[in-house]
Chain A
Amino acid sequence: MDIELLRNNFRKFDKLGLDMETTALKDREDQIHIKGETPLNIVCNKDSLAGAVSQRACVFCGSRVVLYPIADALHLVHGPIGCAVYTWDIRGALSSGAELHRLSFSTDLQEIDVIFGGEKKLRKALIELIDRHGPKAAFVYSTCIVGIIGDDLDAVCRTVEQEKGIPVIPVKSEGFKGNKRAGYQAACDAMARLIGTGDTSDISRFSLNILGDFNLAGEIWMIRDYYERMGIQVVANITGDGRVDDIRRAHGASLNVVQCSGSTMHLANMIEERYGVPSMRVSYFGIEDMSEALYDIARFFRKQFPDDPEAGAIMERTRELVREEVQALVPQLKKYRKALAGKKAAIYVGGSFKAFSLVKAFRLVDMRVVLVGSQTGTKEDYEELEAITDPGTIIVDDSNPLELTSFLKEKSVDVFVGGVKERPIAYKLGIGFCDHNHERKEALAGFAGMLNFAREVYSSVMSPVWRFVPRK
């Protein structure tokens, strides 16, 4: 998502004759080159400070986020009850069939297991649950104390795998081994064990895997629909509405399209190394990024298979699709844009990639982003954020409630985009809020998602209730 692409993208809108986008482009051309006032020097990806109320989660949490939407697999949390029960069906990842992922399975370790080891209990629990639910595979998550009591997860998984004839895969997600990012990695490592084990004979050369979309509120269905309309076969959803058998043959696709790169880029790299499948980073959020994603993919196939007329046809259909979607969307967005113009937004989300898209999406509705931060951004991410935001915008890494409130007040923000933990802070201070995390129940990806997003922001910012909250 470099700036050049962004420009091209807007030129494309120009050609479509959509005046709104042209205006948006002009606004942005002025801003894109303006850097922050001081050189960017943000320290990130560090352990959370002891005693700070970090908004960060643990390794286990990261693994759960990524693997959990695989709906026909068993997800067994090996550990004491809390780790499992706090993650029970809290995410909006939908499935079109099996719904095993919505159950919370735990070995609920007791004192005796901690003293004598939990392997026996794990084995029994696994067999019991596999017999009961007949899953296509089982993921076994280790939690902090499993790392301490030294249960041999690999060994237990291996024997159960042999006995039951399905993949039984340990996920090395001991919470204290790092932050969420490490958990993403552990999840990718676990999935890598499935990939390459399925039949790929009926896969078209015009095919791809969707990585890093978790089908919150059915988003992946929307995205799949776009690809299918372009004439591209989707092999595996990784992992929204995911299926074990699809993932097993994911190596047969021609391209990995990676959204939310923090979580699944590692997997894409592994597939590329092992099977030579290239990958591409995209964002499905906001009109610009969504369109750019589709064009990039069409361009990829044209470049990959220059002699195949189908590649040209895909590009044609992509243009048609974007035109249709944008034309349908823009008039509907106008109302929101008018009402929201000039209002101030703050963004604090898990991944920085999401933050990029949000910054642009707010521009599209003519709002100003005054604070942007993430829990797990890298240095490069922050450089990019710095590049796409206005001067004076506050950029933060791994923030905490106290810091966030002081920023929110200082900047008199109208709407704050964040996760559940940030919501009460905003509300307590009488500030609007929009959920943008894995627990939301509104589809915000795709073209329709942009409209939902605008509506969400609008329904918070424009509510009359703010007149009653204490103001200076």
Chain B
Amino acid sequence: MTKNRPNYVSTTNACKLCKPLGACLAFKGIEGTVPFLHGSQGCATYMRRYIISHYNEPVDIASSSLSEKHAVYGGGPNLKTGLTNVTEKYRPRMIGIATTCLTETIGDDVSMYLDQYQKENRKNKEMPDFVNVSTPSYSGTHMEGFHEAVYQVVSQRAAGGSATRTINLLPGFVSSADYRWLMEVMADFGLDCTMLPDLSATMDGPALLEYEKVPTGGTPLAAIKAMGRSRATIEFGRTVADHESAGAVLAEKFEVGNYRLGLPIGIEETDRFFNLLCELSGRDIPEKYEGERGRLVDAYVDGHKYIFGKKAIVYGEEDLVVGISAFLAEIGIFPVLCASGGTSGRLGKSIVEVTGDILATQPEIHEGMDFFDIAEMAEALEPDLIVGHSKGYPLARKMNIPLIRVGFPIHDRVGGQRVLHLGYNGAQQLFDTITNAVIAQKQADSSVGYSYM
């Protein structure tokens, strides 16, 4: 699996983002929450711009705006002033604080500052809740940041008590359309559900008459508090480490059973998810989804020849790569290279788990990759298409093959937040997009110009 992997000291065109960005995204999916970066101003501004370019939604991320002298004397005072200012201006229900490389390196103790701050402001009735997460980017990617934020939210805010019938759903980082779809599925199974986070409305909202300082939507804080009383947790992510698994915390602290699944991308992984839902709800798969699945199988059959034996490069966040690889394998496309900038140590194993019984040979699977590495390997692999976010476009352009845009960020198309990846319908959309891209490429490359393919 590691035979051809390039090994360079420098990083060129990274295939990962930094940790606090993931934490901010997770916080954006919680009711009334404003993300707050403890560090210098630049990081927050960069991340805002990066996120905005994908979602086309306002993304306010506050910062403690440390300057040089704060870096020397500690960022506590700035953090506190910042929290007060955000509270006054935004009236948030909660402030989610993530550290940055700077404050981690100078060793600021945010938990301690927060304790002090809360004590100092005990009489203030307008005080929001707080949650804080340590996110130094020099260990881990935005996905670790995302998971750790969810983990901390659960650790710091969930409580026990009398059991409820609710199911906790921890989908990880998916598109707004995906979050919306998940809530619909849970409702269709008659399951009461707390999904954390929920970026369906906060990052894909309607045009407004009145600007909302903090967008409507997100996981209700009361529901988060009740997560320790739920019946079970479903957590997506085969590569998520146990120490950053919020599901594991709930199991440990409150004995809420945790079901770990892969992202439900493609038929096989979606079947696993639906089987679990049948079990938990005691119901059969609703007819609506039987129909979706049936039509999807029909579409697979109709289109299979166009794509059989094609070779794809897949890159991005590890769990997305696992899901997409599973999906590609089941439609007859060979993922010649599965790459991620992440380094969970579990990417290879997870891909084998979901493709092992279909693929005769194993793909090249590599963690810690950047786009220079990917491009270097791509030459020999002769891929027919690339599946990943926008940053693979230069490679696709150079190789003159289609790029199927999935995941985050999608900076060169509209509607990144509306790409549906999950479930039978998500697979349907991916399948149509991929098959049509392959056909279009054939059409474009042909000297005849067929209009009947």
Contacts and interface: CB of A to CB of B under 8 A. Distances in A.
Interface of A: 47-61, 76, 79-90, 102-111, 113-114, 121, 124-126, 128-129, 143-145, 147-149, 174-179, 401-402, 405, 409, 419-421, 423-425, 427-430, 468-472
B46 A56 contact: no
B45 A107 contact: no
Ranked nearest first, the 5 interchain pairs of A and B with the lowest CB-CB distance are: A58-B42, A82-B18, A51-B85, A51-B82, A50-B82
B9 A125 contact: yes
Contacts of B9: 107, 121, 124-125, 128
B354 interface: no
Contacts of B48: 53, 421
A429 B79 CA distance: 31
A429 B211 contact: yes
Nearest to A470: B209
B57 interface: yes
B78 A58 contact: no
B308 interface: no
A85 B45 CA distance: 13
B232 interface: no
Contacts of B207: 427-428, 430, 468-470
16 contacts: A53-B48, A53-B62, A56-B41, A82-B43, A85-B17, A102-B394, A105-B11, A107-B10, A125-B10, A144-B40, A148-B105, A176-B71, A420-B52, A424-B56, A428-B211, A430-B207
B34 to A, nearest CB: 9
Nearest to B53: A420
A50 B81 contact: yes
Interface residues of B, number: 73
A114 B105 contact: yes
A83 B100 CA distance: 11
Nearest to A61: B42
Interface stretch (B134-142, B156-164, B326-334): B134-142
B56 A423 contact: yes
Contacts of A90: 49
Given A110-B138, A114-B105, A57 B11 contact: no
Given A86-B50, A144-B39, A423-B56, A177 B13 contact: no
A419 B63 CA distance: 19
B10 A56 contact: no
A211 B39 CA distance: 33
A53 B85 CA distance: 10
B14 A85 contact: yes
Interface in B8-23: 8-14, 16-21
A38 B452 CA distance: 71
Interface of B: 8-14, 16-21, 36, 39-50, 52-53, 55-68, 70-71, 78-79, 81-86, 89-90, 100-102, 105-106, 136-139, 141, 205, 207-209, 211, 213, 372, 391, 394
Contacts of A178: 67-68
B211 A57 contact: no
B117 to A, nearest CB: 12
Contact of B58 (A111, A147, A176, A401): A401
A76 to B, nearest CB: 7
Contacts of A82: 17-21, 43, 46-47, 101, 137
Contacts of A54: 41, 44-45, 63, 65
Given A51-B36, A103-B372, A424-B57, 14 more contacts: A51-B65, A54-B41, A58-B40, A58-B45, A104-B13, A105-B11, A106-B10, A106-B12, A129-B10, A144-B101, A402-B213, A420-B52, A424-B56, A470-B209
Contact of B14 (A81, A174, A176, A177): A81
Given A51-B82, A108-B14, A176-B102, A428 B208 contact: yes
Given A50-B63, A421-B48, A428 B57 contact: yes
A85 B138 contact: no
B49 A420 contact: yes
B78 A50 contact: yes
Contact of B11 (A53, A89, A107): A107
A81 B11 contact: yes
A129 B44 CA distance: 29
Contacts of A179: 41
A448 B89 CA distance: 43
B10 A76 contact: yes
Contacts of B40: 58, 144, 175-176
Contacts of B36: 51
Nearest to A149: B105
Contact of B42 (A59, A147, A402): A59
A175 B43 contact: yes
Contacts of A409: 211
A177 B391 CA distance: 30
A176 B67 CA distance: 5
Contacts of B58: 401, 424-425, 428
Contacts of A114: 101, 105, 136, 138
A294 B84 CA distance: 51
Contacts of B10: 76, 105-108, 124-126, 128-129
A145 B102 contact: yes
A40 B106 CA distance: 40
A81 B22 CA distance: 13
B289 to A, nearest CB: 33
A79 B101 contact: yes
Contact of B45 (A57, A89, A111, A423): A57
A85 B213 contact: no
Given A86-B47, A88-B13, A105-B11, A110 B62 contact: no
Contacts of A144: 39-40, 42, 71, 100-102
A113 B138 contact: yes
Contacts of B62: 51-53
Q: Which of A108, A419, A430 has most chain B Cβ within 10 Å?
A: A108
B25 to A, nearest CB: 14
Contacts of B208: 428-430, 470
A423 B40 CA distance: 23
Contacts of A111: 136, 138-139
A55 B45 contact: yes
